Amino acid sequence: MSDPLTVGDTAPDIRLPATGDQELSLADFRGQPVVLYFYPKDSTPGCTSESKDFTRLYDDFRNAGAVILGCSRDGIRSHENFRAKHDMPFDLLSDGDEALCNAFGVLKEKTMFGKKVMGIERSTFLIDAEGTIRREWRKVKVDGHAEAVLEALQAL
């Protein structure tokens, strides 16, 4: 496996199923900054809080010209339900084959109920209008995270 993408690298052109009956790639958004956040699982407490924070600040992100995309390994039906329940105004990507997760190196070994499993480590990437990764946050703690990402976006 190649090294995970990091600051200075170009975001990959990987096309994934997305909410709203779409297929999206990061390349579709060239010309505007993208906030790509990876989260472990739809409808879990931390992921819900994080998604609500990005939703609450959505207008500020849009005013700064950015697109927000959430990504997990959950399927589209799960994503659609999660998005509708919390009125998320942005799309969620379904990375069932883990292509985007692997490209960004966000899959990590975790221990759940005493068993080792591979799961998504909560991570966010700020990609500029040219498609270059400008900032990364790994091992994200939800509290204050969306605000920190917005601040970094506004400083681009």
Return the active site residues. 47
- The phi, psi pair for 136, rounded to 5°, reads -140, 145
Q: What is the DSSP letter of 152?
A: H
Sign of the alpha-carbon torsion through 152, 127, 134, 75: positive
Report the chain's C-alpha Rg in angstroms: 14
The CA-atom distances, in angstroms, between 115 and each of 60, 96, 148 are 41, 21, 33
Q: Look up residue 88 and give its two tokens.
A: 């998320």
